[in-house]
Each structure stands twice: as C-alpha cells, then as structure tokens.
Amino acid sequence: MKFIDEFRDQALVKDLARRLGALAEGPATIMEVCGTHTMAAARFALKTILPPSVELISGPGCPVCVTAQSDLDAFLALGTEPQVVLVSFGDMLRVPGTHTSLEGLRAQGAAVRVVYSPLDAVELARQTPDKHLGFFGVGFETTMPATALAIQTAAAYGLDNFSVWCVHKTMPAALKALLAGGEARVSGLLCPGHVTTIIGTAAYDFIPAEFGLPCAVTGFEPVDMLLGIESILRQIKEGKACVDNVYTRAVSVPANPRARELLAAVFAPDDASWRGLGVIPGSGVKIRDSYARFDARARFPQVWERLTPPPPSPCRCGEILRGVMRPVECPLFAKGCTPAQPLGPCMVSTEGACAAAYRYER
C-alpha cells in the first residue's frame, strides 16, 4: 500500500532506532496523546526498540475511553424511549455503562445499529420515517466534521427523526487541563496527526509556551512515530521546545479550512465531562441553537432528568487516561478486567491503552 508500506520499512526503522539511541540522554517520558498511536505502538511492539531510558505512555486520546460514564448512561437510557433506534460506531458497543452496554441493551430487544459514518444514520432515518434515529456523537476533531455534515444533511432533507447525542470533545483544552494538573510527569508529547489535519499545529503552541514541553505532530506508522520521538528527543537535547510537524504528508499549514467552517456552523464551544479528568471548561461542543431539533439533549430532556449519577466503580480507567498509571499496573488488568469481560472502556476500545497492552504486550 502506497504511503503505508514505505513507513513500515524495516531498514528505516532500524536506522531510526539507532539514531534514537544516540540522542537519548536522561530518562524521557513521552506521552502519545492519540489512541491510534497507542494501538500502533503496541501492534508494532515499538516500545521494544526504544532506548531503555525512553518511555512511551498513553494519554487521553481514545475518544471511546474518555466518554464520561454519565454520558454513556444517558445514551443507553435514550434507547428505552419509544420508537428510538440507537446508532453508534462499533467501538462503543461493548463499553460497559452503569447497568448495561449497547450490546447488552440490544440483546434485551432495544434497537441498536452500528454504522461506519454518521451519514449512514441519516440514511436510516430517511428509510424509516416511523423511527427516531439517535446517533452517539463521540470523538475528537477528526470525527466531528462527519457529525456536522450529517446534521446539515438531515436539515437539507428536512428530517425530523434524526438527532445527535453530542459528546464530542476537543483535544487542546484537555491537554491543557492534564498538563496544568501536574499529575502526569511527561517530557514531551506526540500530538495526534489526524486531529491536527483539522485544527492545525498552532493549536498546540501553548504546550511549549506555557509548559516548556516539546511536541511533535506525527502519523501512525512506525516510521512516523519514531520520527516524532526523534524530534522530541532532539528538542530535549538542544534544550528547546516547539511544535514540530513531522507528518507533513498529511498536515498542512493552514489546516483544513472547510472542515473548520463546517464545525463553526454547526457546533459552539461548551464544557465537557471527561472520564478520569472531570468537567473541563471549553473542552467540548454543543449543537448550535439553529440546529436544535437535531440535538438529542434538547429533544429528549426527560432522559437526562431521570438519570442518576453512576455509583463508584472499581475501574481505574481515569488514572490510565491521565497517564499516572500504566495498564499493567492496574490491579484489575487481565484479572477482573479482560476484553471478554471489560470493567472499563480502556479494555474495550480498539484504541484503548489496556486493550492494546492486553492484545499485544502481555
């Protein structure tokens, strides 16, 4: 595959690994912000070729994982409303809510559909005018434009039976909260390539400016990730910090203006609740009033009102997402919590740090 095979080249990887060895001085903890990075690192066992002093830890970049328990519970409760069909990406299906999961709800007879694109949910709404299609809008800036487009498409069709339970989140505000918290000790960040194609590299400028930490925006193949790590180690060695873009084949400056216009037209900034991080001001979006009839929260206020806060759970996903605990350090890892019987989203999602460690690193 073009643009993939070249970035999995064994000789190139070996050469980069050697260069990292020469650059690494003191201990360095590098956070890979994005869940896709977490999975790629595990799938290619990248940690086994890094210099021993360099550690790679996962951050809050798995959208399924950071979805708050209360938001998931609310969406599950939406499924008990008459005529409602729940529509979700497949990743969310097995994440345990307080009482059940989407998969469990479906087994009890609720209508749950899995789609690959929010536009499929709009199409389902057109085909079944007697049902209400409720889409779970989960994800960062990469998936947000697709949800925005789905809402605009539904508006263009004049549909009244489609809405979005919007829990979309924006990455920079969460990173700011995480770093300001000071809990996670990191020496640099690998920033998410795909998110950056939408928001641009300037969105991370505050990280070197306010926290003095080097950043590298990078892609998801082994060579991409090693180039990103090399950039961070070089910045550390030279005693400087900036946002370096090593994913130039995808991330251009300025970033995608059409996607940003689309987002601005449909969404307005809002606070968002994150698993493990709590409510972070300005880290989410809400659907603008002009599209209020596609906002499931506005359409079904009773669902939100009758919800009780989730009881305490033994799940430690919050600490994993903050980068203060490694998956194998969790007392539940591979014991009480496995992909077959997950206690938390980090063990379920294909981008979850625990799922990656369970699948590839045990």
Partner 1 sequence: MKRILLSHGAGGREMTALIDEVFLARYGDPNRVGDDSATVLLGSHRLAFTTDSFVVDPLFFPGGDIGRLAVAGTVNDLLTAAARPLVLSASFIMEEGLEISVLQAIAESMRVTAAEAGVAIVTGDTKVVPKGAADKVFITTAGVGLVLLPGVSGAAARPRDEIILTGSVGDHGTAVLLAREKLLDGEAIMSDAAPLTGLVMNLLEEGCEIHAMRDPTRGGIAAALNEIARQSQVAMEIIEARVPVAPAVAAACEALGLDVFQVANEGKMLIIVAPKDAAKALFIIRRSPYGEAARVIGRVLDAPPGRVTVKTVIGTARLLDPPSGDLLPRIC
Site for partner 1, rule CB under 8 A: 1, 4, 8-10, 13-14, 42-46, 48-49, 90, 93-94, 103-104, 106-108, 114, 116, 222, 338-340, 348, 350, 358-362
Q: CB-wise, 93 or 298, nearer to partner 1?
A: 93
Q: Return the ∠ at Cα 61 (arms to 24 and 238), rounded to 5°.
A: 25
CB of 135 to partner 1, least distance (A): 16
DSSP string, 234-279: HHHHTT---EEE--TTT--SS--HHHHHHHHHHEEEEEEEETTTEE
CB of 176 to partner 1, least distance (A): 29
Q: CB-wise, 120 or 205, nearer to partner 1?
A: 120
CB of 21 to partner 1, least distance (A): 15
Cα–Cα dist 219/32, whole Å: 11
Neighbours of 216 (CB within 10 A): 29
Give residues with Cβ within 8 angstroms of 272, minimum separation 6.
167, 168, 169, 170, 279, 280, 283, 284, 285
Helix (H, G, I), strand (E, B) or coil at 295: strand
Q: CB-wise, 94 or 132, nearer to partner 1?
A: 94
Kindly tell me the sign of the dihedral angle through the C-alpha atoms of 359, 54, 184, 229: negative
CB of 256 to partner 1, least distance (A): 19
CB of 332 to partner 1, least distance (A): 16
What's CA 31's distance to the chain center, in Å?
14
Q: CB-wise, 5 or 289, nearer to partner 1?
A: 5
Helix (H, G, I), strand (E, B) or coil at 94: coil
CB of 126 to partner 1, least distance (A): 15
Q: CB-wise, 48 or 308, nearer to partner 1?
A: 48
Q: Which residues pair with 34 in a beta bridge?
A: 61
The one-letter code for the residue type at 95 is V
CB of 49 to partner 1, least distance (A): 6
Q: CB-wise, 223 or 303, nearer to partner 1?
A: 223
CB of 42 to partner 1, least distance (A): 7
Cα–Cα dist 9/28, whole Å: 25
Cα–Cα dist 95/238, whole Å: 43
Cα–Cα dist 38/355, whole Å: 10
Q: CB-wise, 43 or 234, nearer to partner 1?
A: 43
Q: CB-wise, 178 or 355, nearer to partner 1?
A: 355
